[in-house]
């Protein structure tokens, strides 16, 4: 058992994001991906979170659309993405990170099935990497900032790229519909969570087996060889629940021994003991009476989608997507704080100083900061159309837009 615990410990991830310090010549910012607009808003990472500027992440839009409309197969997938996961809109930006020197941001673009590097000085595209299949999704950057992983959701594969050149360093197979990626603290391992088929209406609990292969895949981040597979189904069964085993956003404790994760269709989250390989607690959060219990109305099977932890590891911040609120939960007691009204919050991250949770409100096109200490709303800042992912980044000092 001790040997097994040691192996699991070696695979454990970094804790929640900590406050980052910008290097000389750089400023720390928040990047907000406006999925339907095809822009990334740049906000101050602390304080009043004011908007600094905006970056066009689809400067090659006309060229990409010409290619798509001349290819019947690609066009079919492009239109399918629009009508399903896009809720009637094209998806132009899912995830984004900056390069270590702040000279570029790297963006995954679902509808264009690619990853691009955009020069923060000129707005020009430095490089473009088409993913396998027909849709790009969540990304992750290695601790040294030099490798970026991206989920190719229709080909069940993750590509790992050199963030400076776009060259592919390797790839690996995943479960169905790879979603979130996270590197280990030392950069040796990469974890991927696959969420299964979310684009159909086979959402009743008895149809759950038709949702596909949902699992966590852990690989060596250098060789891309599979190290471990975690299927949450038997862990959930052992805990005594029949909730979905599609793991959505996650957060890890500072000592790297506990994983908190959301699953499809559920208004709450689970606590997983990583060395012990077992689920230990579940937190069910309030339902909004105005939210339908019809699972087919949940956006991409997500009732709650967005989870982050403060640097001290004492508080969790939860985005209650379909229930239109966000809340801070005490980690020790799992008691929630005030329910902060928010319109379809789609992500939760941590401010640069670690004092606030920052959520994207995709329903009202704004970003809202919530105080971890009090659970109260601090401020809201308008952004572009349908914000989703929010990431800490670094840009050149004095950068104010393109």
Q: Locate the domains of the chain by residue range.
A: 2-15+25-396
Mean pLDDT calculated for residue range 301-315: 96
How far apart, in whole angstroms, are the C-alpha atoms of residue 141 and residue 161? Answer: 10
User: Which CATH architecture describes the domain 2-15+25-396?
Assistant: 7 Propeller (2.130)
> Binning pLDDT at 50, 70 and 90, where does residue 18 land?
very low
Mean pLDDT calculated for residue range 38-46: 98
Burial 113-124 (b: 16+ CB within 10 A, else e): bbbbbbebeeee
Whether the predicted pLDDT of 54 surpasses 70 = yes
Looking at residue 14, its pLDDT comes to 38
How far apart, in whole angstroms, are the C-alpha atoms of residue 109 and residue 118? Answer: 12
Looking at residue 199, its pLDDT comes to 77
Residue in the structure block whose two tokens are 């602390």: 46
In degrees and rounded to multiples of 5, residue 8 shows phi and psi of -65, -40
Query: Per residue, what are the HEC states of 91-157?
Result: CCCCEEEECCCCCEEEEEEHHHCEEEEEECCCCCEEEEEECCCCCEEEEEECCCCCEEEEEECCCCE
Whether the predicted pLDDT of 13 surpasses 50 = no
Looking at residue 368, its pLDDT comes to 98
Q: Write down the pTM of the prediction.
A: 0.93
Whether the predicted pLDDT of 98 surpasses 70 = yes
Mean pLDDT calculated for residue range 349-359: 98
How far apart, in whole angstroms, are the C-alpha atoms of residue 101 and residue 394? Answer: 8
Give the model confidence (pLDDT) of 222-263 as tens digits. 999 999 999 999 999 999 999 999 999 999 998 889 999 999
In degrees and rounded to multiples of 5, residue 69 shows phi and psi of -70, -15
Looking at residue 1, its pLDDT comes to 43
Top pLDDT among 5 and 149 is at 149
Give the model confidence (pLDDT) of 186-220 as tens digits. 899 999 999 998 877 777 888 888 889 999 999 99
Looking at residue 7, its pLDDT comes to 47
Return the sign of the alpha-carbon dihedral for residues 392, 394, 399, 402. Answer: negative
> Binning pLDDT at 50, 70 and 90, where does residue 20 land?
very low
Whether the predicted pLDDT of 15 surpasses 80 = no
Give the model confidence (pLDDT) of 99-125 as tens digits. 999 999 999 999 999 999 999 999 999
Mean pLDDT calculated for residue range 345-369: 98
> Binning pLDDT at 50, 70 and 90, where does residue 142 land?
very high
Contact (Cβ atoms closer than 8 angstroms) between residue 374 and residue 20:
no
In degrees and rounded to multiples of 5, residue 71 shows phi and psi of -125, 105
How far apart, in whole angstroms, are the C-alpha atoms of residue 25 and residue 173? Answer: 39
Top pLDDT among 205 and 81 is at 81
Least confident of 51-65, 120-134, 186-200, 374-388: 186-200
Mean pLDDT calculated for residue range 272-297: 95
How far apart, in whole angstroms, are the C-alpha atoms of residue 392 and residue 317? Answer: 16
How many of the other CB atoms lie within 10 Å of CB of 401?
Answer: 12
In degrees and rounded to multiples of 5, residue 104 shows phi and psi of -155, 155
How many of the other CB atoms lie within 10 Å of CB of 165?
Answer: 12
Q: Two tokens at 391?
A: 């990431």
Give the model confidence (pLDDT) of 143-161 as tens digits. 999 999 999 999 999 999 9
Looking at residue 236, its pLDDT comes to 97
Least confident of 176-190, 194-208, 276-290, 348-362: 194-208
Quick one: CA torsion of 129, 307, 350, 171, rounded to 10 degrees?
A: -20
SS3 content of the chain, % helix, strand, coil (to 5): 15, 40, 45
Mean pLDDT of the chain: 93
Whether the predicted pLDDT of 59 surpasses 70 = yes
Looking at residue 356, its pLDDT comes to 98
Of residues 61, 60, 131, the one with CA closest to residue 95:
131
Burial 323-337 (b: 16+ CB within 10 A, else e): bbbbbbbebeebebb
Contact (Cβ atoms closer than 8 angstroms) between residue 215 and residue 246:
no
The residues, any chain, with a CB within 8 Å of residue 98's CB and separated by 6 or more, are 31, 104, 105, 106, 120, 393, 394, 395
> Binning pLDDT at 50, 70 and 90, where does residue 22 land?
low
């Amino acid at each position: 058992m001790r040997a097994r615990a040691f192996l699991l410990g070696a695979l454990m991830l970094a804790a929640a994001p900590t406050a980052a310090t910008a290097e000389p010549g750089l400023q720390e910012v928040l990047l907000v991906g406006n999925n339907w607009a095809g822009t990334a808003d740049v906000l101050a990472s602390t304080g009043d979170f004011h908007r600094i500027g905006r970056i066009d992440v689809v400067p090659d839009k006309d060229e990409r659309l010409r290619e798509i409309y001349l290819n019947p197969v690609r066009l079919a997938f492009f239109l399918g993405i629009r009508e399903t996961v896009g809720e009637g809109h094209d998806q132009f930006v899912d995830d984004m990170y900056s390069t270590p020197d702040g000279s570029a941001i790297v963006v995954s673009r679902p509808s264009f099935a690619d990853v691009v590097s955009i020069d923060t000085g000129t707005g020009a595209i430095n490089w473009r990497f088409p993913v396998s299949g027909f849709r790009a999704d969540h990304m992750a950057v290695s601790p040294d900032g030099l490798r970026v992983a991206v989920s190719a959701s229709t080909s069940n594969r993750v590509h790992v790229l050199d963030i400076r050149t776009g060259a592919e360093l390797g790839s690996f197979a995943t479960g169905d519909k790879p979603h979130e990626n996270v590197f280990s603290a030392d950069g040796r391992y990469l974890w991927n969570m696959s969420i299964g088929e979310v684009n159909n209406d086979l959402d009743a609990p008895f149809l759950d087996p038709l949702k596909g292969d949902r699992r966590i895949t852990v690989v060596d981040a250098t060789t891309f060889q599979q190290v471990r597979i975690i299927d949450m189904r038997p862990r959930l069964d052992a805990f005594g629940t029949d909730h979905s085993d599609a793991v959505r956003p996650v957060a890890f404790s500072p000592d790297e021994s506990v994983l908190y994760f959301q699953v499809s269709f559920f208004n709450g989250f689970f606590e997983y003991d990583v060395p012990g390989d077992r689920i230990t607690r579940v937190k069910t959060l309030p339902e909004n009476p105005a939210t339908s219990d019809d699972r087919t109305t949940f956006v991409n099977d997500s009732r709650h989608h967005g989870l982050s932890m403060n640097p001290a590891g004492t508080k969790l911040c939860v985005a209650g997507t379909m229930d239109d609120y966000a809340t801070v939960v005490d980690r020790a007691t799992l008691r929630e704080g005030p329910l902060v009204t928010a319109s379809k919050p789609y992500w939760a991250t941590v401010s640069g100083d670690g004092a606030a949770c920052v959520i994207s409100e995709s329903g009202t096109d704004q970003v809202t900061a919530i105080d971890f200490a009090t659970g109260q709303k601090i401020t809201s800042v308008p952004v572009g159309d349908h914000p989703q992912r929010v990431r800490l980044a670094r840009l050149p000092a004095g950068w104010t837009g393109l």
